[in-house]
Amino acid sequence: MRTEDIEKSQEYFTSTVALVTAKSREVANVMSAEWSLRVSLDPFLMAVFVGYERGTYDLIKESGEYGLSYCSDQQGNLAHVAGNNSVRDGSKFKLADFRTFKPKRINAPLIDGAISNFECRVIDEFKVGDHAAFIGEVLTAYYDDSKNPLVFHGGKFFHLGRQISKS
């Protein structure tokens, strides 16, 4: 049954979670972002929307770059920990099994075990309501076809369901 409710309707999106990494002045961090997506094919651009109060906002602003590691369905715990703790209270990397690998084109580490990773250089930033939109040029990217994506819906994490027919 259809119900009109502007607040509750916001719980019915389905997306995934990116682990956004950023590093400045030797401080590296990881935060969860549901709001991150490809916004241009050529040039290949990825956007991430970051609250101004996040420690991550300062780190991206200072360094002009960020990593996006899209969670596999084995990384729900990482998405939870990175999204419910702040670098302002100390490093998150020791709070869970955040394994990283060395990036090629940026300074921020990337998260191992993700389904895909993107190294991005900020080319634009603007305000969108209560969040900053960072637009990043993708400098290099990786994928792992042995992984399945983490599905985020109604504040909970799920595996991807079965494929359905288009006809």
Ligand X SMILES: Cc1cc2nc3c(=O)[nH]c(=O)nc-3n(C[C@H](O)[C@H](O)[C@H](O)COP(=O)(O)O)c2cc1C
User: What is the Cα 93 distance to its own chain's centre?
Assistant: 15
Q: Which stretch binds ligand X (CB under 6 A): 65-73, 79-87, 97-105, 117-125?
A: 79-87
Residues 147-166 that bind ligand X (CB under 6 A): 152
CB nearer to ligand X: give 64 or 83. 83
**Other C-beta atoms within 10 Å of 2: how many?**
3
Cβ atoms of residues 82 and 92 within 8 Å: yes
From the number of C-beta atoms within 10 Å of its C-beta (0-12, 13-18, 19+), residue 25 rates as: exposed
Contacts 24+ apart (CB under 8 A), 97-100: 98/30, 100/21
- Of 55, 67, 76, 136, the residue at the interface with ligand X (CB under 6 A) is 55
Instruction: Give the tokens for residue 68.
Output: 């996006």
Does 88 sit near ligand X (CB under 6 A)? yes
- Of 32, 72, 75, 117, the residue at the interface with ligand X (CB under 6 A) is 32
Q: Which stretch binds ligand X (CB under 6 A): 3-11, 38-46, 84-92, 103-111?
A: 84-92
- Of 46, 79, 150, 151, the residue at the interface with ligand X (CB under 6 A) is 79
Q: How far apart are CA 82 and CA 154, in angstroms?
A: 18
**Other C-beta atoms within 10 Å of 61: how many?**
16
Residues 91-130 that bind ligand X (CB under 6 A): none
- Of 83, 96, 125, 141, the residue at the interface with ligand X (CB under 6 A) is 83
- To the nearest whole angstrom, how small is the minimum distance from the Cβ of residue 157 to ligand X? 8
Q: Summarize as ranges the residues that interact with ligand X (CB under 6 A).
A: 17, 29, 31-35, 49-51, 54-56, 79, 83-88, 131, 152
